[in-house]
Amino acid sequence: MKIIELPIAFEFNGQKNDIYPSLIRSNDELTLVDTGYQGFLPIIEKEIEANGYEMNDLTNIILTHYDDDHIGSLSDFKEKYPWIRIIASEMEATYISGEEKSERLVQAEKMLETMPKQHQAFGEWFIQQLKSLQHVPIDETVGDGDWILNNQCQVIATPGHTSGHISLYIPSLDSIITGDAAVKEQHELAIANPEFCLDLEQAEHSLVKLKNMRAEHYYCYHGGRYTVVEGFFKSI
């Protein structure tokens, strides 16, 4: 087993940004965790190939949760590589597949009602971004404690940022892929965008849960890899 960070640099609203999707190699199979924004397929393909891997070996995509920066390019991946199996938690699967209106969209529409005028244009744009996401059926739904990827990876329920958010624990690598349950900020693990968490109290509990697992490496979608050294949390 191996985890490969895929650092993706881009500009958003005139500012430089980065995301860090994870690629898991297990035997001859590749699993991508989250797919970036809409239009990011060629960027992620280039990064995977730059690491010496073939896209034809991409077998699975695991989605930590429904947000436009995590599932934006999912439909493009599925269209180009139709054999890929899509994996998500049962709750997030209903939003990704379009069975239910996503709680993120419900939240955005509600926030727009009281948003200051100077921010309304962005709020309307964000709502349109969510509405433009293409729905994709989920091949496998998972829950807390489930073992996947040939029983080498355990699903960890980490709700709060969204209700069905999951993280991934790989014991053989003493590593956790956090999604947005934890981000690396100022040399610490922190909650991602607390003002947009669907349930901030749950998000706080999930962050504590991940820290208490005392993994050596935390692969954060925002901020990159974070390593614990000699019992203390320290970024690398």
pLDDT computed for residue 231 by the predictor: 52
The dihedral formed by the CA atoms of 119, 125, 129 and 132, expressed in degrees to the nearest 10: 150
If one counts the domains in the chain, the total is 1
Percent residues over pLDDT 70 in the chain: 97
Residue 123 lies in a domain: no
The model's pLDDT over 45-92, given as tens digits with 9 standing for 90+, comes to: 999 999 999 999 999 999 999 999 999 999 999 999 999 999 999 999
Q: Give the pLDDT band (50/70/90) at residue 234.
A: very low
Distance from the first to the final alpha carbon of the chain = 21
pLDDT computed for residue 230 by the predictor: 52
pLDDT computed for residue 187 by the predictor: 82
Strand partners, 184: 189
The model's pLDDT over 108-127, given as tens digits with 9 standing for 90+, comes to: 999 999 999 988 998 998 99
CATH number of the domain within which 59 lies: 3.60.15.10
Decide if pLDDT at 5 tops 80: yes
The model's pLDDT over 20-54, given as tens digits with 9 standing for 90+, comes to: 999 999 988 999 999 999 999 999 999 999 999 99
Decide if pLDDT at 169 tops 90: yes
What is the sign of the dihedral through the CA atoms of 210, 235, 227 and 62?
positive
pLDDT computed for residue 235 by the predictor: 41
Find the mean pLDDT for residues 1-23: 92
Percent residues over pLDDT 90 in the chain: 89
Decide if pLDDT at 168 tops 60: yes
Please provide the average confidence, as pLDDT, over all residues in the chain.
94
Residue 165 lies in a domain: yes
Query: How many angstroms separate the CA atoms of 204 and 181, rounded?
Result: 9
Q: Distance of alpha carbon 230 from its chain centroid, rounded?
A: 28
Residue 115 lies in a domain: no
Decide if pLDDT at 160 tops 70: yes
pLDDT computed for residue 27 by the predictor: 87
Mention every residue, 6+ apart, whose C-beta is less than 8 A from residue 111.
Answer: 123
Domain of 41 in residue numbering reads as 2-100+137-235
In angstroms and rounded to an integer, the radius of gyration of the C-alpha atoms of the chain is: 17
Instruction: Enter the pTM of the model.
Output: 0.94
In 3D, which of 222, 185, 196, 215 has the Cα closest to residue 34? 222
pLDDT computed for residue 236 by the predictor: 36
Q: Distance of alpha carbon 145 from its chain centroid, rounded?
A: 18
Residue 108 lies in a domain: no
